[in-house]
Structure 1
């Protein structure tokens, strides 16, 4: 069972490992439809409709037994071997806390955010359904929530339920995802299985920027193993090392180079409005796909049809395209703002030369010219609001904010001078090319940004099934082709 399922990125890796979805509980209607389409698409119409219903996990009608009954399981305790899910993280994330403080004008307003308590219904589902194991995902700041390590509290409750627990921080880039995305993962296995939770070794070696280590240390600040006099029990385990011969990091260019260029916006052929997701276009035939691209084209159960869907991007302004073209890889918004000011100054000089007199600062004409060159955002705040990706490194973290704008991920190719497309965001998050996103462009971006990278969840799912001794009889079967993956327990 998948709780706070979103589009299904976390479950998708378990699906490829040999698991089958009992169902996903998701609040957002379009994300719920995406989940049902991809994992219950072969169901009968009434069953599909029941799986695609958006559910508020806090509502009384969505207690575990009731949801299981809606999905056709009279016995609430039958059929759920593993629970996965990531309770919404805005209240835990530092960006989310800052927004709440701004709204409420109180330094600890984030403590009052009801989203900070959504791990409680997750625990209620665990208590009722008693799975063999579970995996919970969140932002690293769950370890430092107002000076409190919430993970230890969750582990206390799970151990009262009879589970052995462990948690750590994993970075998706170490598992072959072309994105530096650090996340908290908690694993619990029922004590009767006699197995201690652990986490998979990383498969890829990555050189992380200095800021990542600093953020990690802030999150780990409240991991306490000793006090002044006694050892203190902690369920935190160090991030696993790497396999003996790790592969090099998967870069943004590795992920995107085989996707066709988008230049209509530079040729005056792009118009604002809804984007068509169902219009298939061919892959580039002049560029050989990398091993990463080939994997996402041929993902078991979600293979590409040979036509690329939802390779669409936002229509922005000529001002933005001009800056995107001249920005260097790795440039952030302060750099873009400096460039914009320089271009604005040059435009004023040209205009003064043409007209024989300068445009006076503060006049309507001056303001109009400035608006053509300089974005209106304060360059002293949120420097990562804009960022041009480096082609030879993994991308920075994709956020749910992609649903509002995609300036945080400007394409590295200056000739295209644009932000990333929906399919490019999916590629950077490691969604296979055959995965279908429901809704329009903005909801699709939000679903992708909210997701756990499927390649990371595949590493987790495979590792968990291995240590449990679960042998998939058919791995990665897709509901879209009518097959159902099954598993055989070899130990319990």
Structure 2
């Protein structure tokens, strides 16, 4: 970043001071969401009273989802502009202001900037694929997506927001030996902000999903904020060992003896808090999908055109929040239109026999048992199928998944009803085996709406595109409830 002159600092300070006075007078915190996805961060900030002016997103389905949920009040021409995908690397802030008709010049247009630069380059799970693409032993260090946070900082400098929230995967703290979050904080301080970051798990904030994220908050010096604070947990849960291990890997770049780092350790949730929301609590009021349901009878294009009515059942607090109590997103329908699942007839019987918590090795063992039972049934009919024959392999193919259980141990997982779900990934767009429904009588993977519920998207929030894009949008999203708690902290400092 170029050297910042004293005249620039004075000009920026004047701009931010004027915006602060206007904010306190109008009570409207105009918010721009960069790398917005379908709108998980926007939804949480909207619930906290922030005004979502625009979401900038390159994926066409996610961009349309964001627009139709946050800008449906606009005329058709403006709604289409918000629905279009936008590439932040090719558009300057002034282009965004002009195209989306944000009021004022760039520095006057918004008060709050939020967003999460794409995390694929930061997440360790993607590094092997990157090595293949780049034919480089440490390709994740040179993936251009890993530099999009610099573009985010360009937009900070241009828009001069009063408050900033950045989100990413925990590995952003240890990216090729660099702590990106620390470097972002250093740059923000040069631009006139106080900035801190932490690691938050969504399960501690009322989300029925274990999802670890880096959250960075920054405030303009004009706010006179003495210390950045983060939300305190609202729910208690003992995280599995794997989540603790991943956190420790991410924190390796932070020296606890160094008082200069900007990392803040959140307080551990107290056992006196309400227990975390479980998968069953999150999903049990949604319609059942039994064997005679249309989604399981035949393969067909999955469109959001058929209403699945809510069953008559007693609602818990989470279900009420998801159905009717989320401001601006109360479900106006008597059911849901996106309760759609993947057509996986070979695997339904396997799902039914799996125990909660079982993964692919257990699923493969169950399938082999079913295959042996099928061979016995054929023998009882007087038909002998010899091992290695064409008939043997054809029958096995009909029953047993083809993946090596020693190489894909985590490919499948059946959810536990009495625990929150494990992290939903963008790979839901490819398949849903990571989240097999806990109810064996339904023997299936989760639906689009169930995935949304686990991420804390209210039922009144609609998704654009077909099934695969919808799953991908949900898997990529920031849980709105977690975003809401962050937004509440920021609102307290902005005092609007």
1:193 paired residue number? 223
Structure 1 residues 265 and 410 mapped into 2: Cα distance closer, same or farther (>3 Å)? farther
Could you tell me which of 31, 37, 45 is aligned with 2:62?
A: 31
Could you tell me which of 403, 409, 413 is aligned with 2:439?
A: 413
> Is 1:431 matched with 2:460?
no
1:489 paired residue number? none
2:476 paired residue number? 450
Q: Please give the root-mean-square deviation of Cα atoms over the aligned residues, in Å.
A: 1.7
1:307 paired residue number? 334
* Alpha-carbon distance between aligned partners in 2 of 1:255 and 1:269, rounded to the nearest angstrom: 22
Could you tell me which of 127, 137, 141 is aligned with 1:107?
A: 137
> Is 1:152 matched with 2:178?
no
> Is 1:345 matched with 2:376?
no
* Alpha-carbon distance between aligned partners in 2 of 1:244 and 1:361, rounded to the nearest angstrom: 56
Compute the displacement of 1:203 (Å). 0.2
* Alpha-carbon distance between aligned partners in 2 of 1:49 and 1:7, rounded to the nearest angstrom: 15
Could you tell me which of 251, 255, 263 is aligned with 1:220?
A: 251
Q: Deviations over 1:133-189 (max 9, x none)?
A: 111011101111122211111111111111111111100000000000111111111
Aligned residues between the structures: 462
Name the SS for the 1:413 alignment partner: coil
1:361 paired residue number? 387
| Conserved 8 A contact 2:223-2:493 | no
| Conserved 8 A contact 1:7-1:447 | yes
1:250 paired residue number? 277
Q: Deviations over 1:274-295 (max 9, x none)?
A: 222132222111x211110001
TM alignment of 1:155-304, pairs within 5 A: 155-195=185-225, 196-226=227-257, 231=258, 233-242=260-269, 245-264=272-291, 270-285=297-312, 287-298=313-324, 299-304=326-331
Compute the displacement of 1:304 (Å). 0.9
Name the SS for the 1:21 alignment partner: strand
Q: Structure 1: state its 5+ residue gaps.
A: 471-492
Compute the displacement of 1:224 (Å). 2.0
Compute the displacement of 1:190 (Å). 1.1
| Conserved 8 A contact 1:313-1:422 | yes
1:57 paired residue number? 88
Q: Which moved more, 1:25-34 or 1:102-111?
A: 102-111
Normalized against structure 2, the TM-score is what?
0.90
Deviant stretches of 4+, over 4 Å: 264-269
* Alpha-carbon distance between aligned partners in 1 of 2:138 and 2:51, rounded to the nearest angstrom: 41
Q: Structure 2: state its 5+ residue gaps.
A: 1-31
* Alpha-carbon distance between aligned partners in 2 of 1:125 and 1:243, rounded to the nearest angstrom: 39
* Alpha-carbon distance between aligned partners in 2 of 1:356 and 1:303, rounded to the nearest angstrom: 59
Could you tell me which of 373, 382, 389 is aligned with 2:415?
A: 389
| Conserved 8 A contact 2:291-2:442 | no
* Alpha-carbon distance between aligned partners in 2 of 1:89 and 1:150, rounded to the nearest angstrom: 12
| Conserved 8 A contact 2:44-2:485 | yes
* Alpha-carbon distance between aligned partners in 1 of 2:375 and 2:306, rounded to the nearest angstrom: 43
1:133 paired residue number? 163
* Alpha-carbon distance between aligned partners in 2 of 1:404 and 1:269, rounded to the nearest angstrom: 18
* Alpha-carbon distance between aligned partners in 2 of 1:267 and 1:469, rounded to the nearest angstrom: 51
* Alpha-carbon distance between aligned partners in 2 of 1:439 and 1:319, rounded to the nearest angstrom: 26
* Alpha-carbon distance between aligned partners in 1 of 2:178 and 2:122, rounded to the nearest angstrom: 11
* Alpha-carbon distance between aligned partners in 1 of 2:52 and 2:69, rounded to the nearest angstrom: 10
* Alpha-carbon distance between aligned partners in 2 of 1:316 and 1:163, rounded to the nearest angstrom: 51
Normalized against structure 1, the TM-score is what?
0.90
1:463 paired residue number? 489
Name the SS for the 2:273 alignment partner: strand
Could you tell me which of 391, 397, 400 is aligned with 2:426?
A: 400
Could you tell me which of 119, 123, 128 is aligned with 1:98?
A: 128
Structure 1 residues 362 and 117 mapped into 2: Cα distance closer, same or farther (>3 Å)? same
Q: Deviations over 1:347-391 (max 9, x none)?
A: 22332343264x222221111111122101222234221110000
